[in-house]
Amino acid sequence: MTVTRQDFEDAIATYWGAKKLQREQSAIKAAVGAGTAGSVRGGKHFDAIAILLAKFFLDAGYPPDSIRVTKKQGLELPGYYRPQKQWDLVVVHEGVLVAAFELKALGAPSFGNNYNNRVEEALGSAVDLRRAALADLYPKEKPWLGYFFIMEDHKKSRSKVRIAKGALPIDSHWRGTSYQDRFGIFCERIVAEQLYDAACYVTSSAEEPKPIELVESLDWRHFSAAINARLTYLKELGLPG
């Protein structure tokens, strides 16, 4: 059951309600508990994305009970600045945090209101877990974090955003950018700073669900390669045993 480009495009289409879960996806959903225990944290829209990512780990031999996609299964991971934080997809096997994913989106009409919220959420989650790892709360292997983001392709997300007059000049990279541009810069930086090990950033819409990948380093090909590299690394260490 190799994860394909078509699987990815189908999952994005399903997110928008343009396509129903196929038989294979439904089987994976049932295997990891999503079919009976409710939807993933991000809501039912993200079920297809969670199932798509779960498939990597099922294919690599991880048992279904190591792959957590619902609140009922327990998506909380230890933090440093707070006791726990709930992620959207968690894979834990033999005490090793194999991977944890944030699955997020931003859509009309709330680009302006929620853009900063999405940035702060992503930063807070990663910083908290990375610091917890330094405090030996993840003692076996360094945690691997993935970030998956869908920006609605919309006139407002494509338009340049006004820069407010502030007390000091801003980073020039932000000038003349749209919300779509800004999120690309953000995702590039959180990977470059190693807050997340990989990020996938796409724009899409219900009218045109086929994903648009604006930044090559953040496309599905790079994201899936990073997941497979993590699996290969742990396989060399005997996981899953």
For 179-195, the pLDDT digits (tens) are 999 999 999 999 999 99
DSSP states of 33-87: TTTTS---TT-GGGHHHHHHHHHHHHHTT--GGGEE-SGGG--EEE-SSSSEEE-
The amino acid sitting at 48 is A
Rounded Cα distance, 122 and 127, in Å: 9
CB neighbourhood size of 241 (10 A): 7
Instruction: Kindly state the average pLDDT of the residues 166-190.
Output: 96
Note the pLDDT of residue 32. 77
Structure-block tokens of residue 231: 């699996």
Q: What was the pLDDT predicted at 37?
A: 40
**Terminal CA-CA length for the chain:** 20
Can you tell me which residue has the tokens 């006004």? Answer: 162
Choose among 203, 113, 95: nearest CA to 158: 203
β partners of residue 105? 150
On average, the pLDDT of the chain sits at: 91
- The residue that leads in pLDDT, 73 or 27, is 73
Using CB atoms within 10 Å of the CB of residue 56, give its burial: 0 to 12 exposed, 13 to 18 middle, 19+ buried.
buried
β-pairing, 198-204 vs 145-152, is: parallel
Q: Please choose, from the candidates 22, 184, 70, the residue with its C-alpha nearest in 3D space to the C-alpha of residue 8.
A: 22
List CB contacts of 79: < 8 A, sequence separation 6 or more: 85, 128, 129, 131, 132
What 3-state DSSP class applies to 98? Answer: strand
Euclidean distance between CA atoms 17 and 179, whole angstroms? 24
140-159 residue pLDDT tens: 999 999 999 999 999 999 99
- Predicted confidence (pLDDT) per residue in 114-142, tens digit: 999 999 999 999 999 999 999 999 989 99
CA–chain centroid gap for 34, Å, is: 17
State how far the Cα of 23 lies from the Cα of 47, in Å rounded to an integer: 14
